[in-house]
Structures are given as structure tokens and as C-alpha cells.
Structure 1
Amino acid sequence: MGKKRKIVVLTGAGMSAESGLRTFRDSNGLWEGHDVMEVASPQGFYRNPELVLEFYNQRRRQLLEVSPNAGHIALAALEKEFDVSIVTQNVDNLHEQAGSCHVVHLHGELLKVRSTADESYVLEWKKDLVLGDLDNNGNQLRPHIVWFGEMVPMLQTAVEITVQADILIVIGTSMQVYPAASLINYVARDTPIYFIDPKPSVNPREFENLTVMSMTATEGVPALVAELTS
């Protein structure tokens, strides 16, 4: 049996939206009624940590009530025939719940927290996080989320994975969020790229082997997986 071909999947908010998770922000830039910088920046956390902690507590509670959708499940099934790595902008764990084994979270993980003083001190966390929840040295814990203005520590790992792609699949992301959007430039020019999004924002002329599927994740991903595994 030969080596499995490598599929790299880039996923964004549209991947999880159909599971009932609200997408990142609405058209006026507000996120659940908050200015994004209030709840997703180090400065916002410094100014009003209780607001930020409660914002993520609500996201975490919501995540614990939803399930992977048909798109997540179809991607997990791809692993039977391909070597699949998923690079996601999403902070939920729905890919893992569906059974995907190799998932890189560019923007952090909602079900983890970390020390405000030591980035390597990370804990699994499913309950609310409040002021007074501390690490072993008495430092406040914070969401394990990459906020605006912070480094994206998993970016280099994501680049190293993306350059290996025999096939690239992009699902539910506008490809406008940098540095994640730059990943598409790391695949070889002749690599087949599939772009699944109901309102695709990619220019087909920019890429040689681009197939655009103007569908939601729950429609497009199972259709593409059926095609790739037939």
C-alpha cells in the first residue's frame, strides 16, 4: 500500500456556523454587541477583565451545547483514504469531536485557558473562568485565545503543514483574515485547490487549479469528500 496523499484543509467561521455557533462578528463590526477590541485584545482584557472573561464564558457555554455538523463529519471520514491535516481559525473543538486527528488551531482554543504570566501554562477548561482563577504561582488565568495584536504561535506549524499539500481545501473563510489568509500562497502552483463557501470571495483567475463550490459547509464538504473518495 502506497503513501497516502496529503490533504490540507483550511477552515473558518463558516465551518462551524451550521452547528449553531455564531460567526465572528456581524456586518457593523460588533461581536455579540461588543466592539471587537473590547473583548478580543490584551488592552480590552487589561481594562475590563470581567467583561472579557464573561464574553468567553458565554462562547464556551454555547460550544458545550452544539455538535459537529455534516461538514465536520465528512472531513473526519477523509482520513480513511488520505493523510489529512486541518488548520482552523476556529476556537471550537468540533473538528476533534467529529473525529479528525490532526487539527492545528491558529487562534487558540475555547476549551483551554492559560496563565497571564506564562504562555506555556495551559489547562483544559470547560467551566466558567472568573477573576481569582489562578495558576500555580498566583497569576490570573485567561482564555487560551489569540487576541488582536498578539503573535500567532501556531502559524509556522501551519505553514510547514500547508507546503506539504497535494490537495488544498478551503472551507467557510473569507481568506481576508491575516496571517491565516496567507497560507494559500504556500502550496505549489499546480496544487488543486477547492474553495467551499456560499459567498466565495476568491478570484478564480489568481489560481491555476481552483474549483469554487458556492455551497455551505454541510452541502459542499460531503459532496467534495464523495468526489475525492469515489
Structure 2
Amino acid sequence: MKKKIVVLTGAGISAESGISTFRDANGLWENHDIMEVASIEGWRRNPELVLNFYNLRRKQLKEVQPNSAHYFLKELEEKYDVVVITQNVDDLHERAGSSKIIHLHGELLKVRSEKDENLILDWSEDINIGDVAADGSQLRPHIVWFGELVPKLEEAIEEILTADIMLVIGTSLQVYPAASLIDFMEYGKPIFVIDPHSVSIPNNPHIQVIRKTATQGVKDLEFK
């Protein structure tokens, strides 16, 4: 029986493919205050601004490709049962070929009804004011914004509780509740954290920190 590896990925792994992140710019994302474009309050204040912002993100996504760290996680499936839990809303893990992916914060290539969070559609083009779901309500990005619950959190926790090894790649562990997921790993089992920046980690001797980017850090991983 294959050992199980659960991987938590964040913006750092996608940044190496050319996807911009807001945490490297003092809370600004493409010159927008993050709360304007990634909160439920921002959506209610100015939905057109929010739609335009994510339309640009969707266009950008078509111009980038998975990197060697994404492909490394796919290759791990040859020897391990691998579950990727990602905070990223891009589809780079899918395009690299990973087979088990949980998107904590939603997916850029999906939309949903403004009223019914379970009415979800695949969507690769722009969303405009006036584009409506089957229930007649405005379509919005299928993104979990600040101020909203994280519906996939329980599913992610269940995967971590049965993991043998945990990898944390490209996340500062500062965005909650995703940052708390590392606490659900059974004490004594190995955790590897790959990030070039300072990362907030629990006091645990079984955590090994690799201060490198995702593409470089995965080369240093050694586990049985």
C-alpha cells in the first residue's frame, strides 16, 4: 500500500509560473486594495470592478504554464498516494496532471450563481454584468473571498488526518483558516515546508524548513 502525501500549496508555487500575487506588494494586487477585489464587501460595493479584475486574471492564466514544481507533484503519484490541497485558484496543478486536487479558495475557471453557491459552471471567458445563472441571478467568480466560509476546509482536514507525510510549498501560512491545516497533521509524522520567505510554523521538531523557491526546494526533498 502506498504511503499518503498531502501537499498544501500557496501563491509561491504559481508565482514561478508568472502569476502575480498580492502579498508581495503590501496588500495591493495589480494596484488594487485587496479588499476591493477579494472580499464579499468589495463585490457588493462594486461588482463591475471585481468582474473586470478577475477577467484579467483569467486572461493572464491562459498565458502561463505549470512549472517543474507542479510536475514534481504529479510525478510523486508514481510512488505515493498524493492529495494536493491548494490555496491557489489557477488550474496549473490540473494542467501538470495531478489527479487529486482540493481547491480551498475556489477556481478561476469556474463561475457560480450569486444566490446559490452550489450552482457552478465551467467558464473560461469574461464575466460581464448581466451574465446570469439558470436561477436568474448574476454570475460571479467561483472564488472564496475574505468574509466568506471555506466550504472545502473539512474535506482538506480529513485528508491531512490520514497522511503519512505533509509538504507545504509556497505559502507563508498567514491566511486563515488554510494556515491552520498544518496543525491537523499527526504529531511525529514528517512535515516539509518549502518557502524562501519567513514562514509561521508551529514548534515541532518534525518540521523541516527548506528556505528555497518551490522549483528549487522540491529538489532537496528526501523521504521514504
Q: TM-score range by the shorter chain?
A: over 0.9
State the 1:213 CA deviation: 0.8
- Residues 64 and 140 (structure 1), Cα distance of their counterparts in 2 relative to 1, 3 Å cut: same
Q: How does 1:150-169 map to 2 (within 5 A)?
A: 150-169=148-167
Match of 1:210 in 2: 207
Deviation track 1:81-137 (CA, whole Å, cap 9, x = no partner) reads 000001110000101100000010100000000000111110011001111111112
- 1:38 is the counterpart of 2:36: yes
Q: Secondary structure at the match of 2:51?
A: helix
Measure, in 2, the Cα distance between the counterparts of 1:184 and 1:110.
Answer: 25
Number of residue pairs aligned between Structure 1 and Structure 2: 224
Match of 1:190 in 2: 188
- Whether the 8 Å contact between 1:86 and 1:103 is mirrored in structure 2 is yes
Letter in 1 for 2:208: T
Measure, in 2, the Cα distance between the counterparts of 1:153 and 1:87.
Answer: 13
- Whether the 8 Å contact between 2:28 and 2:34 is mirrored in structure 1 is yes
Measure, in 1, the Cα distance between the counterparts of 2:93 and 2:114.
Answer: 27
User: Structure 1 runs of 4+ off > 4 angstroms?
Assistant: none
Match of 1:54 in 2: 52
Scaled by the length of structure 2, the TM-score of the pair is: 0.96
Q: Secondary structure at the match of 2:111?
A: strand
Measure, in 2, the Cα distance between the counterparts of 1:82 and 1:47.
Answer: 46
- Whether the 8 Å contact between 1:70 and 1:222 is mirrored in structure 2 is no
Structure 2 residue runs of 5 or longer lacking an equivalent are none
Letter in 2 for 1:81: K
CA RMSD of aligned residues (A): 1.3
The percentage of counterpart residues that share the same residue type is: 59
Scaled by the length of structure 1, the TM-score of the pair is: 0.94
State the 1:21 CA deviation: 0.2
State the 1:35 CA deviation: 1.1
- Whether the 8 Å contact between 1:175 and 1:201 is mirrored in structure 2 is yes
Letter in 1 for 2:73: L
Match of 2:140 in 1: 142
State the 1:200 CA deviation: 3.5
- Whether the 8 Å contact between 1:108 and 1:144 is mirrored in structure 2 is yes
Moved more, 214-223 or 69-78: 214-223
- Whether the 8 Å contact between 1:172 and 1:196 is mirrored in structure 2 is yes
Structure 1 residue runs of 5 or longer lacking an equivalent are none
Measure, in 2, the Cα distance between the counterparts of 1:49 and 1:27.
Answer: 23
Measure, in 1, the Cα distance between the counterparts of 2:22 and 2:84.
Answer: 19
